[in-house]
């Protein structure tokens, strides 16, 4: 059982949830930093709602990638302007384009633990100089299975300190690091906005 299979199975519930989801303030802050009409890569874009839609409405060109075929089919059917959605594993994704911003909101924790360390160099290489990276993450090293809408999902992460040290070593500047983020009914363990120097 893989996460993409589980996401395919929960698509109807996910559409209802994502269509009613708010755009969290760190996403708005991220968009405020990225060059006007810039290019953004959305890692784990899901159905494109609400994040790709919000970024599109702000005149960014959005490339969304996701491993779930049903999520991508739904995203492509939404008619969101300035967007391209691709069925792709992040580690297989290649682009000649360097992005002004990369967002990974609630997606990095689905990546295999033994590949977590490789996320940040790849993101760094996909970003244009001065580009911004917004992501959510756990605070402590972890690997577990949980359920959502009755289906199993794999989660993992490295420790907060390890990730911060790795990012600084690569050449990221941390603009904000928010622990225990809460907004309305939404909660995240850790939210980070970084900039490629």
How do the domains of the chain map onto residue ranges? 3-196
Instruction: Say yes or no to pLDDT of 49 above 60.
Output: yes
Dihedral sign for Cα atoms in the order 134, 136, 139, 140: negative
| Percent residues over pLDDT 90 in the chain | 97
Q: Is the peptide bond before 50 cis (omega within 30 degrees of 0)?
A: yes
pTM of the model: 0.97
Is the per-residue pLDDT at 1 higher than 90? no
Asked if 80 contacts 58 with a C-beta cutoff of 8 angstroms, the reply is no
How many Cα atoms sit within 13 Å of 158 on the Cβ side?
A: 17
- Nearest to 193, CA basis, from 141, 140, 131: 131
pLDDT digits (tens, 9 = 90+) for 55-105: 999 999 999 999 999 999 999 999 999 999 999 999 999 999 999 999 999
Q: Does domain 3-196 have CATH number 3.40.50.150?
A: yes
Which pLDDT belongs to residue 197? 94
Mean of the pLDDT values across residues 155-179?
98
Task: With cut-offs at 50, 70 and 90, classify the pLDDT of residue 120.
Answer: very high
**Residues 38 and 103 sit within 8 Å (Cβ to Cβ):** no
- Cβ(95)–Cβ(43) below 8 Å: no
Residue 159 in this model has a pLDDT that exceeds 90: yes
pLDDT of residue 125: 98
Q: What is the pLDDT of residues 124-138, one digit of tens each?
A: 999 999 999 999 999
Distance CA 116, CA 9 (A): 25
Average pLDDT over residues 5-27: 97
In the structure encoding, which two tokens stand for residue 80, read together? 């969101």
- The DSSP symbol for 153 reads E
Query: In which band, very low, low, confident or very high, does the pLDDT at 2 lie, cut at 50, 70 and 90?
Result: confident
Q: Is 126 exposed, middle or buried (0-12, 13-18, 19+ CB in 10 A)?
A: buried
CA distance 187 to 125: 29
Task: State the chain's mean pLDDT as an integer.
Answer: 97
Answer yes or no: is pLDDT of 36 > 90.
no
């Amino acid at each position: 059982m893989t996460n993409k299979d589980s996401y395919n199975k929960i698509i109807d519930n996910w559409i209802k949830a994502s269509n009613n989801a708010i755009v969290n303030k760190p996403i708005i802050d991220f968009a405020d930093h990225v060059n006007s009409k810039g290019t953004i890569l959305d890692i784990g874009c899901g159905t494109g709602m609400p994040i790709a839609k919000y970024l599109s409405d702000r005149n960014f060109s959005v490339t969304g990638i996701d491993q779930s075929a049903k999520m991508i089919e739904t995203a492509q059917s939404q008619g969101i302007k300035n967007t391209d959605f691709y069925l792709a594993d992040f580690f297989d994704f290649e682009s000649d384009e360097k992005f002004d911003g990369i967002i990974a909101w609630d997606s990095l924790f689905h990546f295999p633990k033994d590949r977590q360390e490789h996320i940040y160099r790849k993101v760094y290489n996909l970003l244009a100089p001065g580009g911004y990276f917004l992501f959510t993450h756990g605070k402590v090293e972890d690997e577990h299975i949980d359920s959502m809408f009755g289906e199993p999902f794999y989660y993992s992460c490295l420790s907060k300190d390890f990730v911060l040290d790795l990012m600084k070593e690569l050449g990221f500047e941390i603009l904000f690091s928010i622990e225990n983020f809460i907004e309305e009914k939404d909660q995240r363990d850790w939210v980070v906005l970084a900039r490629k120097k």
